[in-house]
Amino acid sequence: MNLKSITVSVAAIAALSSLNTRAADAASLRKQALEVVAPIPERMPGAENDTKEQISLGKKLFFEKRLSKNESQSCNSCHVVDKGRGGVDNEPTSPGAFGKRGGRNSPTVLNAGFHLAQFWDGRAETLADQAKGPVLNPIEMAMPAEAEVIARLTADKGYVKAFGKAFPGQTAPVSYDNMAKAIAAFERTLVTRDRFDDFLKGKDSALTAAEQQGLHEFLTVGCTTCHTGPLLGGNGYRKIGILEPYSNTADKGRIEVTKDEADEYVFKVPSLRNIALTAPYFHDGKHAKLADAVREMAKLQLGKQLTDDQVNAITTFLGALSDKGRKAPKTAAMGGSTAGQP
């Protein structure tokens, strides 16, 4: 054997063993991750009872602008689920039918049916309860009364037929309750699929080395104290500003729902699935950039000052949680941090 071939085989062995180390690392990383998170289930609770007639009616209603007073807005105006978007409008707070804005950022409707409850403060228990709110909310769709919603829907023969098919055997199928039920049935189809789940299910190459590094940081820094389960959130309530107070004290969060002092500044822990698609961040839409939200989370919730490398690694990992086939609009800023700029 000449010297050249020895060098080649040494290099080959080195390459092989580094691949093996990565595979072993991926396996132990997966094991560590599966202790606190899980793949998204096949379908949402309750979906087994939804009929295709209810789902198709619900979809039509979700995109229906006649559900707003001046026919300017549908659910999809603030929760854009078509065009490959992330189920949000990417605004800090959303303009309603007459341009007025509420105080909170629109959360995504994607995977929402997996959450323990709906809204930032969890004030609606189910998707159907939630769907009754925005239509009559004066700042959102601003319809004056349920009766007017029913009158509009009844005036359309197509809707009368579709409600009849979706809720067979009922004497008055066109009802406000059935509208909400159908919308919820459609929302239960909004389950997303991403590369992180492929990784959790055993495919090492589903995450890049940088994303695996980010996952490692995410797990070790302590984000999964709160962002756990299949959605990396959506399954509990926590205060924003545990170790340092949050800058904006206008919204007192869940205390308005429970009247319990312990719930001041408590919000639902948001899911981090599709997070790269849903800028801006926090209940008030404070941060346009994901990296800034990550940095502030570590500081407020864990009392940790992350390095730029850690922030970038975690942000890179979070990018692997986006539904395949969905993309953030160009205007939504996801990338680098603005922290430290004048």
301 binds ligand HEC (CB under 6 A): yes
List beta partners, residue 88: 80
Phi then psi dihedrals of residue 208, to 5 deg: -70, 165
Cα–chain center distance at 157: 35
Element of type H or E holding 266: strand 266-268
CB of 121 or CB of 197, closer to ligand HEC: 121
Active-site residues: which are they?
140
d(CA 51, CA 75): 21
Number of residues that bind ligand HEC (CB under 6 A): 50
Candidates 11-19, 105-113, 156-164, 199-207; binding stretch for ligand HEC (CB under 6 A)? 105-113
Helical H runs in 95-175? 127-136, 146-154, 157-166
269 binds ligand HEC (CB under 6 A): yes
337 binds ligand HEC (CB under 6 A): no
223 binds ligand HEC (CB under 6 A): yes
Shortest separation between residue 84's beta carbon and ligand HEC, angstroms: 19
Contact letters (x/-) for ligand HEC, 106-125, by CB under 6 A? xx-x--x--x--xxx-----
Q: Of these, 46, 53, 60, 102, which contacts ligand HEC (CB under 6 A)? A: 102
Shortest separation between residue 283's beta carbon and ligand HEC, angstroms: 4
Q: Of these, 40, 142, 190, 294, which contacts ligand HEC (CB under 6 A)? A: 294
Shortest separation between residue 228's beta carbon and ligand HEC, angstroms: 10
136 binds ligand HEC (CB under 6 A): no
Q: 55-59, long-range: CB within 8 Å, 24+ apart, which pairs?
A: 55/182, 55/185, 55/186, 55/188, 55/189, 56/162, 56/166, 56/186, 57/159, 57/162, 57/163, 57/165, 57/166, 57/182, 57/185, 57/186, 58/181, 58/182, 58/183, 58/184, 58/185, 58/186, 58/187, 59/186
Angle, nearest 10°, between helix axes 146-154 and 157-166? 100
Residues of this chain that interact with ligand HEC (CB under 6 A) are: 73, 75, 77-79, 94, 96, 102, 104, 106-107, 109, 112, 115, 118-120, 127, 130-131, 134-135, 140-141, 183, 221-223, 225-227, 238, 240, 242, 267, 269-270, 272, 275, 278, 281-283, 293-294, 297-298, 301-302, 314
